[in-house]
Structures are given as structure tokens and as C-alpha cells.
Structure 1
Amino acid sequence: MTSTQQEEFWSGDFGRAYTDRNLRPLAEWNEFYRATWGHTKPEMNAAFLGGLPENARILEVGCNTGLQLLGLQSAGFTNLHGIELQAYAVERAREMVPSAQLLQGSGFELPFEANSFDVVCTNGVLIHIAPADLPRIMAEMVRCSRRYIWGFEYYAEATTAIPYRGNEGFLWKANYAQLFANQFPELRLVKQEFYPYQTEAERGNIDSMYLLEKVGT
């Protein structure tokens, strides 16, 4: 059962169309990132996770087609897990990266015990969560992580709503690393990088990758 307006939206036809738009081979995905941000996603990932052992237990919340997990697999990571709201996307992700452990479910109720993963991450997912609901999903991510919270999200200094393909109330940009730190004093910002968009249509927009570490409770 869905619990928010955004979950209902993404569970339906709009979410399925998004999944279909984002089904692409790894090489094509890498070229998309290079053209959009000037780096491939594996290059960005290496700057943040390069020191982790290959058997680090990693959970992606909102894994959609599994391309982000496939990128991690291409870097040598072997203990990959994903959870995705949309059933159709889970099917596609299982085809994309069959070695990963994938579940259908909501980020608001992660079906894992506390401290189950070395890294819990999102890639372009928090931007689609209503600001009032962010504390719930962030709390679940922090609960399930034994060490790191990692993210790649649309960035703005202040939370800002923006239209998304003609729809209002389904996309926000914010300083998500700071929102995590504000809510959870046990988190310390380890690293944050900003990636301005290179494409003319997105000129002036920025994404941020960040890594936070749990240092106390």
C-alpha cells in the first residue's frame, strides 16, 4: 500500500514511463553522465567509495532499473542490495543486475534490521519526496546504516519546489546533506562535491554528491 501522494504517483503509469526512459546499457548510461555532468557515475562513485572493501554491504533506496547498482558492480562491489517501490522497475532491475538482492517496498518502511548495511544511499530519490515526509525516509536510512549515508541529489541552498514534466508537487531541490545533519546529530559530513550541469537545457542547475558518517548516538 502507498502512503503518500508521491508514492501513488510513482507507482502508476508515470513511474512506469520513467523506468522505460531510463532503461539503457551501462556504456550508454556512462556517456549520458559524462555529457550531463562531465564525469561518468562510476568516476563520481570512486571519489567517495574508493576506500571501501569490495564486500561492503550497500543498500540503494529507490533503485529503479538497477543502473546505479550495476555501476557499483562494475567497480567491483559484490554485496549489493536495492529496494524499489514500483513493481515494474524491480522486474527490470533484476534483469539488469541479477546478482543484486532486490526487493519491492517503500523507503518509509525498510524491511531490514538496524545497522544492517555499511552504506545506505539514494540517487535522485529524495528530490521526489515531499519535504514534510523527508524526516521519515531519512530516519529509516539512518536506522539501517551502520556507518555511511551516501547520496546524489538535485542541489539548492534552500528547499525549492520545481515543476516536473508538467506536474507540481513531485520535485524539489535542496541541500540534502545539511538536512540529514540537521535531523541527526550523530552524522558527520565526510565529503561533498557539486556537479554543475553541462547541458544547455539544464545550465545553472547543480547536483550534489555527499557522504555522511555515523560517529555517535
Structure 2
Amino acid sequence: MRELTAQEQFWQGDFGDQYVERNQGNTLIAGNLALFSRILARTQRLNSVLELGTNIGNNLLALHQLLPGCHLHGVEINAKAHAQAQSLGIASVWQGSLFDYPQARSFDLTMTKGVLIHLAPELLPAAYAQLYDLSSRYILIAEYYNPAPVEVLYRGNSGKLFKRDFAGEMLDRYSDLQLLDYGFSYHRDPQFPSDDITWFLLEKRP
């Protein structure tokens, strides 16, 4: 059995449990609805979505409302978060590391939101491969952006938060990917505040 990395152990344990408690509420879900409605407007015929790093399912809740006929799937390493996400009854949520999720099928859209930023840089190629290989058409990356890689102290912890151009690295790595759209969600938005997320929607060329 594979030994979990330091980041995986971090999110699987007490800190991951605390994250669950901090990230709940209707304001967050409303912001997600506004965000995903903009993003999904650029897609066509989504029948299946896979989110790597689902947490308690806040993103899946928004997607379920916007895409009521879509088959939703998630991956979550923290047991407490997984239980909450699965209990929503709107998605099939697999418990474990995104690196271990089996590539048994593909999905119309694969995505991460606030997940790649918490991976050590050496783990990113494997994460990119999962996003790419599991997608049949679209890839959504919604993370903290910075033109050059930089580490940020995260709630007193080092080695747990990184900003960089994740989408640009994927575009450089996979020649058949193209950028469809991108945008920014600001924490001071008067109606739908979000966590300063920059999102990129990529598509595989046929």
C-alpha cells in the first residue's frame, strides 16, 4: 500500500476536520452558484463531472442545482468531509487520495477548486495527469493564481499553500489542450463574494 505524502496526511487528519467546520454556509453556496453559472455557460452537454478534492460537497451542491441531470462524482481524502459529501445524496463520492482514484472511466468535465494550491510542487505532475486522463473534454482549474511559483504561510503552517500558474503548466504539458475561458472571483464582490479564486476552463481539441 502506498505511503501517504505529508500533504495527504495533513488534510486527512485534524486540520482537515477543522477545514470542514470553517467552510460551510449559504453565503458560500450562493457564491459557488454565481461562479459556476459563468463557467458552465461555456460548456456543452455535460453528462458527468468529477471533482478531485470535494470536501463536504459545496461545489457539488451548486453543480447539482445548475446541472440537475448530470451525474456528479467526487474524491475526498478526509473521512469527516467525505461522510458529509456522501450524505447529500447528489453524487458518488469516493474516499481516498486523488492520486489513487482509479482511471476506470472518463468524465465530460474534471475539476479542482482550492486543491492544487495545497499540493507540494513535486506532486503536481501526477495531479495534472489525473485531471487530464480522467477528462473526455473539459478541465476546470479554480485556484489561487500567481505568474511565478510562490509559497505562502497557511494558518501558521509552511509547505501547505502554493500559488502558481497551474493552468498554464497544463497547457504547456498537454499540446491538445486549449484555453476556452478564464475569470476571477473577488472577495469584495458586493453580491457574491468569493475567495479570490482565478478559474480557467480548458478543453481537449478533438
Q: Which residue of 2 aligns with 1:88?
A: 80
Tell me, yes or no, if the aligned pair for 1:83 and 1:102 is still in contact at 8 Å. Answer: yes
Q: Distance in 2 between matches of 1:175 and 1:207?
A: 12
Q: What is the CA distance between 1:209 and its match in structure 2?
A: 0.7
Q: Which residue of 2 aligns with 1:48?
A: 39
Q: What is the CA distance between 1:28 and its match in structure 2?
A: 2.9
Q: Distance in 1 between matches of 2:48 and 2:185?
A: 26
Structure 1 vs Structure 2 CA RMSD: 1.8
- AA in 2 matched with 1:81: H
Q: Which residue of 1 aligns with 2:163?
A: 173
**1:53-202 equivalent positions in 2, closer than 5 A:** 53=45, 56-77=47-68, 78-95=70-87, 97-114=88-105, 116-198=106-188
Report the TM-score, using the length of structure 2 for normalisation: 0.89
Identity between Structure 1 and Structure 2 (%): 36
What 5-or-longer segments of structure 1 have no aligned partner? 32-39, 200-204
Tell me, yes or no, if the aligned pair for 2:29 and 2:58 is still in contact at 8 Å. Answer: no
Q: Distance in 2 between matches of 1:108 and 1:84?
A: 11
Q: Distance in 2 between matches of 1:19 and 1:47?
A: 26
Q: Distance in 2 between matches of 1:29 and 1:179?
A: 28
Q: Distance in 2 between matches of 1:91 and 1:196?
A: 30
Pair 1:99–1:197, CA change in 2 (3 A) = closer
Q: Distance in 2 between matches of 1:141 and 1:18?
A: 23
Q: Distance in 2 between matches of 1:82 and 1:190?
A: 23
Q: What is the CA distance between 1:124 and its match in structure 2?
A: 0.3
1:173-195 per-position Cα deviation (integer Å, ceiling 9, x unaligned): 11111011122112111111123
Q: Which residue of 1 aligns with 2:192?
A: none
Report the TM-score, using the length of structure 1 for normalisation: 0.85
Q: What is the CA distance between 1:2 and its match in structure 2?
A: 4.7
